[in-house]
């Protein structure tokens, strides 16, 4: 076993404050679990050298796929574990 594999850190993206495109529906109708989500860079095929715009686009697509709602805006931060 390689020490590199043991010490490898995982990039996680913590998504919060999601503003969904709800049209006539009230934002309060959405499940509160959709307001804070975590996904790894590996799950989204995000590479170390990907630009901020690419990461945001992949996160927006992932949020929509997971929730079934289109996204107007969201906040996120990266956590290494």
Please report, for residues 4, 49, 61, 68, 79, the alpha-carbon distance to residue 72 in angstroms, rounded to integers and kept in the order given.
Answer: 39, 25, 11, 13, 23
H/E run at residue 3: helix 3-7
Among 11, 15, 26, 12, CA closest to 60: 15
- The predicted structure's pLDDT at residue 20: 86
Mean pLDDT per 10-residue segment, the chain (81 residues): 61 92 69 81 93 96 92 93 83
- The predicted structure's pLDDT at residue 26: 65
Count of C-beta atoms within a 10 Å radius of residue 68? 10
Question: Which residue ranges make up each domain of the chain?
Answer: 3-80
């Amino acid at each position: 076993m390689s020490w590199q594999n043991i010490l490898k850190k995982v990039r996680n993206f913590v998504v919060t404050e999601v503003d969904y495109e709800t049209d006539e529906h009230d934002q309060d109708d959405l499940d509160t679990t959709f307001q804070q989500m975590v996904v790894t860079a590996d799950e989204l095929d995000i590479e170390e050298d990907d630009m901020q715009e690419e990461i945001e686009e992949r996160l927006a697509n992932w949020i929509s796929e997971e929730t079934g709602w289109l996204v107007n805006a969201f906040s996120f931060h990266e956590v290494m574990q």
